[in-house]
Structure 1
Amino acid sequence: MQHNARPPRTTRPRRWRVSPTLARDDVWSGDQPIVAGVEDARAVLIELNLSTDAEPRRVLDRLRDAFRRQLGLPEPERLSTRYARALLTRDQLARLDPDRLPAGDPLARLISRIWPDYVVEAHLDRSAATVKADAATRTYAAAGTGVVWAVLDSGICPEHPHFRDGTLSDDAVLPLHRDFTYLVRGDAEPAAPEPKDALVDPAGHGTHVAAIIAGAAPAGPLHIACQDWVPRDGGDLPRWTTRTLEPGRMLSGLAPQARLVSLRVLDDNETTCTSAVIKALDHVREVNGNGTNPRIHGVNVSLGVAYNAQEYAAGQSPLCRELDLLVGTGVVAVVSAGNGGTATDPFSGGDPHGSLSTIADPGNAEKAITVGSTHRDSPHTYGISFFSSKGPTLDGRRKPDIVAPGERITSAAAGRFRTRSADLAGLSDGDACYIEESGTSQAAPHVSGAIAALLSARPELKGRPDQVKKYLCDNATPLGRHEFFEGAGLLDLMRVFSNA
């Protein structure tokens, strides 16, 4: 009798415990600042092995004790339930590698994985009508009253008159502002955080984003800078000029009466790190009592880091997992898709024709509402912005989820955003200055503001982010482009109200 030969046994590749990125020489040389750090140390995220204990705090306490007693290193800082942060040299990291520790070492059981603390970068008078937010405000009295939105960005300038009516100073939000840029600098966490430290914005990015969501321009003259195109030999060149509002138009956020919480994660150079963003998301969970006492109803994240397909599956990075966890507690998360629409593939020698997917993390998070960019007032004609990142995710999901105006969006100008224009440079952050900017960073707050308006008129949707996302996508207006470019289509707030 003949027997079929048994097929050869195959073994699955062993799952790494320390990120392969941390083995790269360029990460430690300082030539490519893709991982946060100071001098010869690099910041890492330590993912705790929560299966060893039902109480995450005890796992962290044991890890801190091992760092201090066994390794002689400073204690890691808590970022969230699952992650802690440490600054390590290359030699110290090697000593911490769970695969190199002796068998049975308790330290190896406390650590699930070690990730790089990646560097993360930042990514309405006409655009409100494009998404029909102005009509919804009039028809449904949807001005954002009673809704609180957190803005993870470079801070917000409180002196700007756009926020004069309590947008940032209302008792409901004033104690909640936080500055997390100490993590970017590598400093220790302040013993007593000062909310006022988050109410600064030397960069201007956060103020511009925030004013698209909420607040309104004051009565009286406004200083509005826009770009004009001047003929030059060899082509047209942009220049800054000024304009006035057309009769009957006004500048306001899509939910002018909503209140904003400034969670400052971007430093003065508009860069941050994964740990600062995770710490900010954890702050929202703590403020809300993990969903038992919702005080913040949504977050806007107009920043991101390029997705590394060699490091983790799509939507499974620490940043994406923490964002999905936040949504699971009842908070709406709106994320910019990224400005990598023309990016090329950095692996295997590069692809000169572009990448299959250019969505930035945390835009790959499954539960996030990921927003791409369209033309400001003629999206049906001009379609998707060339810079807007395209999908799908590399595990086959549709992204972006929806698109909104992101080209030449006029919003509040502060810090370096204001001083770009010579006409505004001589004024102050306390003057009513406005300026144009483009990017998915500007598209995302259109969706945040629209949802804040929706929740103010439909309060029964608070705490139901999955239902909110479904309403937005089911009622979006297709632009006739591929779904990996436009997602479900253009945000249409009137249709959402009509069918919600």
Structure 2
Amino acid sequence: MVSLRRDSDLTPKELARVRDGLAGGGPGRRRQPTLRDVRPAIQRFRDLAQGFLGFASPDPVTGQRAEIWTVNRNREASVSVALSRKTVKADAAHCLFNLDTSGIRWGIVDSGVDATHPAFFDRAKLRASQPGGGPPAARQPWADLTRVAATYDFTFLRRLISTGRMPTGRAGGWPDRAQARAINGRFQREIEILRRRYDEGGDLDWSVIEPLIRVPHGPDYRAPRSNHGTHVAGILAGDWPRDENPEGDVDLRGICPALEIYDLRVFADDGSGGDEFTIQSALEFVTYLNRNRQVPVIHGVNLSLSIPHEVESFACGRTPICDECNRLAGQGVVVVAAAGNRGWVDGLAENQFGDFRSITVTDPGNASEVITVGSTHRVEPHTYGVSYFSSRGPTGDGRMKPDVVAPGEKILGPTPGGGLRRLDGTSMAAPHVSGAAALLMARHRELIGDPRRVKDVLCRTATDLGRERYFQGNGLVDVLRAIQSI
């Protein structure tokens, strides 16, 4: 689009007529503008634009003069995450109920969350540590301020239990060679017992594994290079005031801006790799953290990831990762998963037209106890309905999925290193629903440990967008209505 700002090419009378007409009438009168009011100015603008674009002469082949079919206003963009909070009514719920998510924690099973990012600072601690103002963390180490309670890296676990030694040489990842040698020397006996136990078919001993996979929040901490996990966590729990973030015109707030999160890394440092075993291990670890505790350590997990259903080996919803999600939900943890981005298939590689496809929900979204989330528009869901890329149901065995939809188009969120970026996908929609579940439990604490009821409330109170049920599920998640329904 070309933006033209040459008002001087219009006569003062024509310009005044356009401005008065678009304002609703000329001096001393109020009426809607007519075509007669603006026709001379439109003709002058048309001539100006065609001359500017080099289209004044007729086309040498067709002999026809080029036409301008539409003129669009160059609208200002606004911060998307602020808009999507309103779409799911999280802003209204916060204002009406003064919700407090203290004591509730969420696991982000993803590529890693940048714990040093200002969006995850505890603002109350920050204010208390800087009574005289100053830049964030100027007087206190970031590790004392971050709401990322802990970071665990599961990506080398398989090699650890298969070789009996901490692997080294992961570019840009944890651990480095010196740390690996230190860990091998300190835990040599424990690692060997762990390997033998696993070879014999025993369960993983997480009490041995926990110190091996924990990434310390200290001077040697390195943020992940991939944007995905930090972005997802920011939608759920980000809090970045306008006077600090690069946008500078609005507060960047997630659905639960005071929530504590656990960073459970299941992809390589650059976001590549990742497998079903690694993701299962992270979910098993959540069970370990919650085991034999009166109050759960982690109350919910967000899985913004996708695994194709292996149809020749497992029934739909009964793959190993789906079974693990169902077990975790049965133990009182809310599990939220992205539906997948396979609703539209591009046929260019096969010289065919692309097409929309049903029965495209991926694992772990096929699990029955999981809250499976599709994507819709961040501001106008009733107008645009379900996003073209959002995977559609039913499941392969005929169950209704997704369960709900949430904003997932051009959502602005934090990225490692103090950045911001807009991303699309059901991965962005899922943390909106994780946040809705956390707010629901914050208001009604009796729902903690009852993920089936949390899912029922969110589905029952969702807003119908008037689309096919296998596209939208129960509809758009509505935080305010969910809280008020109890």
Q: TM range, normalised to the smaller chain?
A: 0.5 to 0.7
Q: Distance in 2 between matches of 1:170 and 1:481?
A: 47
- Is 1:165 the equivalent of 2:122? yes
- Tell me how far 1:472 sits from its aligned partner: 0.2
Provide structure 1 residue ranges, at least 5 long, that are not aligned to the other structure: 1-123, 225-243, 415-428
2:236 equivalent in structure 1? 213
- Tell me how far 1:201 sits from its aligned partner: 1.5
Provide structure 2 residue ranges, at least 5 long, that are not aligned to the other structure: 1-80, 126-141, 167-182, 188-210
**Are 1:376 and 1:405, in contact at CA under 8 Å, matched by a contact in 2?**
yes
1:332 equivalent in structure 2? 334
Q: What is the CA deviation profile of residues 112-145 of structure 1, one whole-angstrom value per residue up to 9, with x for unaligned ones?
A: xxxxxxxxxxxx1110000000000111112422
- Tell me how far 1:160 sits from its aligned partner: 1.0
Equivalent residue in structure 2 for 1:152, among 88, 91, 109 = 109
Letter of the 1:405 partner, please give it: P
In structure 2, the CA distance between the partners of 1:435 and 1:174, relative to structure 1 (3 Å rule), is closer
Q: Distance in 2 between matches of 1:175 and 1:222?
A: 22
2:478 equivalent in structure 1? 492
Letter of the 1:475 partner, please give it: T
Query: Alignment identity in percent?
Result: 41
Equivalent residue in structure 2 for 1:127, among 84, 97, 103 = 84
Q: Distance in 2 between matches of 1:260 and 1:174?
A: 5
Q: Distance in 2 between matches of 1:182 and 1:214?
A: 27
**Are 2:121 and 2:147, in contact at CA under 8 Å, matched by a contact in 1?**
no
In structure 2, the CA distance between the partners of 1:251 and 1:177, relative to structure 1 (3 Å rule), is same
The 5 A counterparts of 1:175-214 are 176-183=150-157, 188=165, 191=187, 192-193=211-212, 194-196=214-216, 200-214=223-237
- Tell me how far 1:351 sits from its aligned partner: 12
**Are 1:331 and 1:463, in contact at CA under 8 Å, matched by a contact in 2?**
yes
Q: Secondary structure at the match of 2:103?
A: coil
- Tell me how far 1:250 sits from its aligned partner: 2.0
**Are 1:335 and 1:371, in contact at CA under 8 Å, matched by a contact in 2?**
yes
In structure 2, the CA distance between the partners of 1:333 and 1:291, relative to structure 1 (3 Å rule), is farther
The 5 A counterparts of 1:43-82 are none
Q: Secondary structure at the match of 1:441?
A: helix
Structure 1 or 2: more helix by fraction: 2
Q: Distance in 2 between matches of 1:481 and 1:253?
A: 27
2:422 equivalent in structure 1? 436
Q: Distance in 1 between matches of 2:256 and 2:422?
A: 19
2:376 equivalent in structure 1? 374
1:321 equivalent in structure 2? 323
1:417 equivalent in structure 2? none
**Are 1:324 and 1:367, in contact at CA under 8 Å, matched by a contact in 2?**
yes
Q: Secondary structure at the match of 1:314?
A: coil
Q: What is the CA deviation profile of residues 430-460 of structure 1, one whole-angstrom value per residue up to 9, with x for unaligned ones?
A: x4x3211110110000011121122112111
Q: Distance in 2 between matches of 1:170 and 1:316?
A: 42
**Are 1:183 and 1:275, in contact at CA under 8 Å, matched by a contact in 2?**
no
Q: Secondary structure at the match of 2:405?
A: strand
Q: What is the CA deviation profile of residues 235-286 of structure 1, one whole-angstrom value per residue up to 9, with x for unaligned ones?
A: xxxxxxxxx53xxx42111111110000011113423011110000001000
Q: Distance in 2 between matches of 1:251 and 1:458?
A: 26
**Are 1:307 and 1:358, in contact at CA under 8 Å, matched by a contact in 2?**
no
Q: Secondary structure at the match of 1:272?
A: coil
The 5 A counterparts of 1:208-247 are 208-224=231-247, 244-245=248-249
- Bigger radius of gyration among the two: 2
Letter of the 1:384 partner, please give it: V
**Are 2:375 and 2:425, in contact at CA under 8 Å, matched by a contact in 1?**
yes
State TM-score, norm by structure 2.
0.64
Q: What is the CA deviation profile of residues 193-221 of structure 1, one whole-angstrom value per residue up to 9, with x for unaligned ones?
A: 23338972211211000011113003514
1:278 equivalent in structure 2? 280
- Most deviating of 438-447 and 455-464: 455-464
Q: Distance in 2 between matches of 1:456 and 1:483?
A: 29
Letter of the 2:89 partner, please give it: K
Q: Distance in 1 between matches of 2:379 and 2:358?
A: 28
Q: Distance in 1 between matches of 2:246 and 2:395?
A: 41
In structure 2, the CA distance between the partners of 1:332 and 1:169, relative to structure 1 (3 Å rule), is farther
**Are 2:241 and 2:251, in contact at CA under 8 Å, matched by a contact in 1?**
no
- Tell me how far 1:174 sits from its aligned partner: 6.5
- Tell me how far 1:173 sits from its aligned partner: 7.7
Q: How many residues align?
A: 335
1:140 equivalent in structure 2? 97
Q: Distance in 1 between matches of 2:302 and 2:362?
A: 15
In structure 2, the CA distance between the partners of 1:173 and 1:288, relative to structure 1 (3 Å rule), is farther
1:480 equivalent in structure 2? 466
- Tell me how far 1:177 sits from its aligned partner: 2.6
The 5 A counterparts of 1:88-103 are none
Letter of the 2:229 partner, please give it: G
